């Protein structure tokens, strides 16, 4: 009896050792995507009132955990029974990310003044809650796409292992992706509050503390702007990478240029196509609705 228990414990220990080793490898393989995830989500979580930053971030974090709970079982089932579906799902997600990134670029260059007017009008009307919910929903959807990419890449590093090790290793990566990324985002968006706290604590004897506080306060807006740009580029890179690595014709076409440039170009081209199609659809729908109203 005792010998049987010892054998079971030994098997569990070996399983955990193997899972820990594979988790480390999978995390290394996905570290690039995790950095993209950080940039994208820091951009998504910014722009709220100070008192709403952490509540909003908590809602996005809960949405991220729910995303992982949905994605992980489906990923394991697809890997076992319908692996051919994984790439089409990734490419649909790539189209969405390319659209999101390109739409932000188009809005920045062509609709900046219009967006400000619309934002001011909505704020005057007291529609801040609706805008907040809309941004949270958008952040959770983007997290869903990035989570699929992270889970699939992590799963790809452990496909030769047993199902139990796959489950443990990919789940560990998913937990790190959520807690690590959103923990860092929380630190970033609360940087100015920490700076103000240091300023309030300073006096003539510790002028250095005040300087550090003022540096943190002045750095946050610049950091958010940088992360906004990085987040937009990251979405285009992830989207382009999905197509470059899974469509042989695109990969061969861009063989002679640096991979990061090729992925950015592909992401931007896919994004411009989808934004263009969306604009055409919106215009046709608007005309159709106008005709219906005139007839009624």
Q: Model confidence over 112-169: pLDDT tens digits?
A: 554 444 444 444 445 667 777 887 888 888 788 778 877 877 776 676 677 777 788 8
Enter the pTM of the model. 0.67
CA distances in angstroms from 201 to 194, 212, 217, 276, 283, listed in the order given? 11, 11, 14, 53, 56
Q: 197-251, pLDDT tens digit by residue?
A: 788 877 666 677 778 888 887 887 787 777 778 778 877 887 888 888 888 888 8
The pLDDT value recorded for residue 38 is: 65
Judge whether residue 257 has pLDDT over 60: yes
Residue 163 CB contacts under 8 Å (≥ 6 apart), including other chains: 76, 80
Q: What is the DSSP letter of 111?
A: S
| Domain span including residue 36 | 21-295
Residue 123 domain-assigned (yes or no): yes
| Residue 5 falls inside a structural domain | no
**Mean pLDDT score of the chain, rounded to an integer?**
74
Q: Go through 205-226 and write b for each residue having 16 or more CB atoms within 10 A of its CB, e for each that does not.
A: eeeebbebbeebbeebeebbee
181 falls in which pLDDT band (50, 70, 90)? confident
CA pair distance 116, 238, nearest whole angstrom? 29
Q: Is 273 a member of any domain?
A: yes
| Structural domains of the chain, count | 1
The tokens describing 53, both together, are 């930053």
Residue 92 lies in a domain: yes
* Domain presence at residue 284: yes
């Amino acid at each position: 009896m005792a010998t049987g228990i010892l054998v079971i414990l030994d098997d569990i220990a070996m399983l955990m050792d193997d899972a820990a080793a594979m988790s480390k490898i999978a995390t290394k393989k996905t570290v690039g995507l995790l950095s993209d995830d950080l940039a994208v989500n820091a951009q998504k979580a910014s722009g709220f009132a100070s008192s709403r930053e952490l509540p909003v971030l908590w809602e996005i974090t809960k949405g991220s955990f729910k995303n992982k709970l949905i994605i992980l079982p489906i990923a394991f089932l697809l890997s076992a029974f319908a692996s051919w579906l994984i790439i089409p799902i990734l490419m649909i997600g790539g189209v969405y990310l390319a659209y999101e990134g390109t739409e932000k670029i188009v809005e920045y260059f062509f609709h900046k003044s219009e967006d400000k007017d619309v934002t001011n009008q909505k704020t005057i009307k007291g529609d801040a809650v609706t805008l907040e919910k809309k941004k949270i929903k958008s952040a959770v959807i983007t997290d869903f796409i990035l989570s699929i990419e992270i889970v699939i890449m992590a799963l790809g590093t452990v496909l030769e292992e047993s199902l139990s090790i796959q489950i443990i290793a990919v789940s560990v990566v998913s937990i790190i992706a959520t807690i690590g990324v959103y923990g860092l985002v929380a630190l970033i968006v609360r940087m100015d509050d920490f700076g103000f706290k240091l300023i309030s604590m300073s006096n003539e004897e510790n002028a250095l503390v005040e300087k550090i506080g003022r540096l943190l306060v002045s750095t946050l807006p610049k950091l958010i702007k940088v992360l906004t740009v990085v987040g937009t580029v990251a979405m285009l890179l992830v989207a382009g990478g999905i197509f470059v690595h899974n469509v042989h014709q695109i990969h061969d076409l861009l063989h002679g240029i640096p991979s990061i440039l090729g992925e950015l170009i592909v992401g931007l081209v896919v994004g411009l196509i989808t934004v263009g199609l969306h604009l055409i659809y919106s215009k046709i729908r608007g005309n159709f609705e106008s005709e219906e109203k005139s007839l009624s």
